[in-house]
Amino acid sequence: MANNTTLDDILKKMVDTVSDSKEQVFDITEQSRNEYSQLQIELAEVQMQVAAVIKNTDRTELHARFARNRLAEVSKNFDKFTDEEVRTAYEQANDFRVKLALLKQEEKQLRERRDTLERRLIAIQDTIKKAEALVGQITVVLNYLTSDLQQVNEMVQGAKKIQEYGLQIIEAQEEERKRVSREIHDGPAQMMANVLLRSELVERIYREKGIEDALLEIRDLRSMVKNSLSEVRRIIYDLRPMALDDLGVVPTLTKYLKNFQERTGITISFRNFGKEERLPATLEIALFRFVQEAVQNAYKHANPNEVQVKMEIKMNKVLLVVKDDGKGFDLNEKKEGSFGLLGMKERVNMLKGQLSIDSKINRGTTIMIAIPIHT
């Protein structure tokens, strides 16, 4: 008992330490993101200042050229001008020369500041990527430490594969979370950050350039918001399409596969045999996930030109076939990342169905599923 208590205490301390480390890395990530956003705003302001200085420099150079020409004319015909005109010509030429030198110095400083900000943004972006990767790795460790492996072994009744695939499944789940997080960060979150940045510049543009330029900027903002909303809807649809609850599995699959074809360029055909009717919610979700997993696996690993999806709803069961003409694989070879197929098998078993996979090298893969309908 003492030994068990000691081991539990050691494990608890390990979990607490790793959890604290995760929070610290997460704080660093958030601080870096905030700094990145502030630097983006500062960079945009500096870029506007550079443009303004360049415009002012060009205008001053034009005036300086006229002043030099005037001075040359006065110097050449000295006796034709009064002392006041001569003095004014010299002073104007000198004033423009000094002003031009100051503007060029200011432009040089602003360009250096801009380059420094761009380098800092690149460095901070690299820090954010490394921190996010580290958070993902720490999460995997925490999940592994806090999992009750003994209970899992009892539930699986000694299935040795669970030890081999357990950590891989956790990593796959974490990778999926990371993918969704990255999609949100690189898509809607980045767009909204740009919207925030651009909105802060609208007032400045209105003051400096007028209402027409400000309205153009607002139109661009509206377009960015629409694109962001479209991207959010796509991510939500991939996670769980609302049409699945409203319309059922057949219309949802039709739309999903059409969108997948447009996004990937793979030719996808979908045919539904029999009646188009509603099924129990659990079964509809399972069928959608089967097709989603199968076509994504084909796209990621098989490099196919065409994927065929066929479904038939019968009186007491549903038949589903997903066939691709990709590079296939050896069924007898233990394939890294095959826990995706393992997850499909487990889901079929939970629904008391049957799954068979036929695949040959360079001959494509065919997945067949039969699931009973329990009303």
> Concatenated DSSP letters for 178-204?
HHHHHHHIIIIIHHHHHHHHHHHHHHH
Phi, psi dihedral angles at 322 (to 5 degrees): -125, 120
- The domain boundary, picked from 239, 266, 286, lies at 239
**DSSP designation for 301:** I
Last residue of a domain, one of 198, 221, 239: 239
Residue 338 is classified by DSSP as T
- Are 21 and 100 within one domain? yes
Total domain count, the chain: 3
Residues 49 and 292: their CA atoms lie apart, in Å, by: 50
Same domain, 70 and 204: no
My answer on whether 137 and 207 are in the same domain is no
Query: Domain boundary at 218, 239, 260, which?
Result: 239
The verdict on 139 and 162 lying in the same domain is no
Domain containing residue 93: CATH number: 1.10.287.2610
* 11 and 119 inside one domain: yes
How confident is the model at residue 157, as a pLDDT?
46
114 and 198 together in one domain:
no
Is 273 a member of any domain? yes
Which pLDDT score is estimated for 9?
Answer: 67
The bridge status of strand 354-360 relative to strand 364-372 is: antiparallel
Instruction: Tell whether 203 and 250 lie within a shared domain.
Output: no
68: domain range? 1-146
Domain annotation covers residue 13: yes
Work out the burial of residue 309: count CB atoms within 10 Å of its CB; fewer than 13 is exposed, 13-18 middle, 19 or more buried. Answer: buried
Return the half-sphere exposure (C-beta side, CA atoms, 13 A cut-off) of residue 95. 9
19 plus 136 within the same structural domain: yes
Q: What is the pLDDT of residue 233?
A: 62
Task: Return d(Cα 162, Cα 42) in angstroms, integer.
Answer: 52
Query: According to the model, what pLDDT value does residue 71 have?
Result: 80
With beta carbons less than 8 A apart as the criterion, state whether 190 and 37 touch.
Answer: no
Asked whether 309 and 321 are in contact (CB, 8 A), the reply is: yes
Instruction: Indicate whether 152 belongs to any domain.
Output: no
Residues 87, 152: Cα–Cα separation, whole Å: 96
User: From CA 143, how far away is CA 175, in angstroms rounded?
Assistant: 13
Do residues 135 and 185 both lie within one domain?
Answer: no
In a domain, 151, yes or no: no
User: Facing residues of 323 across strands?
Assistant: 308, 366
Among candidate residues 270, 200, 177, the one with its CA nearest the CA of residue 45: 200
Residue 272 contacts residue 362 (beta carbons within 8 Å)? no
* Amino acid (1-letter code) at residue 367: I
Q: What is the full DSSP assignment across 243-276?
A: HHHHT-HHHHHHHHHHHHHHHH--EEEEEEEE--
Residue type present at position 290 = F
Q: Tokens for 89, please give them.
A: 């010509």
Sign of CA dihedral 13, 18, 23, 25: positive
Residues 134 and 161 in one domain: no
Looking at the structure, tell me whether residues 221 and 330 fall in a common domain. no
Burial 26-60 (b: 16+ CB within 10 A, else e): eebbeebbeebeebbeebbebeebbeebeeebeeb
CATH code, domain carrying 365: 3.30.565.10
Q: Tokens 């720490």 identify what position?
A: 138
360 and 348 part of one domain? yes
Q: Which residues of the chain have pLDDT under 70?
A: 1-12, 14-15, 18, 141-142, 144-200, 229-243, 245, 333-340, 343, 375
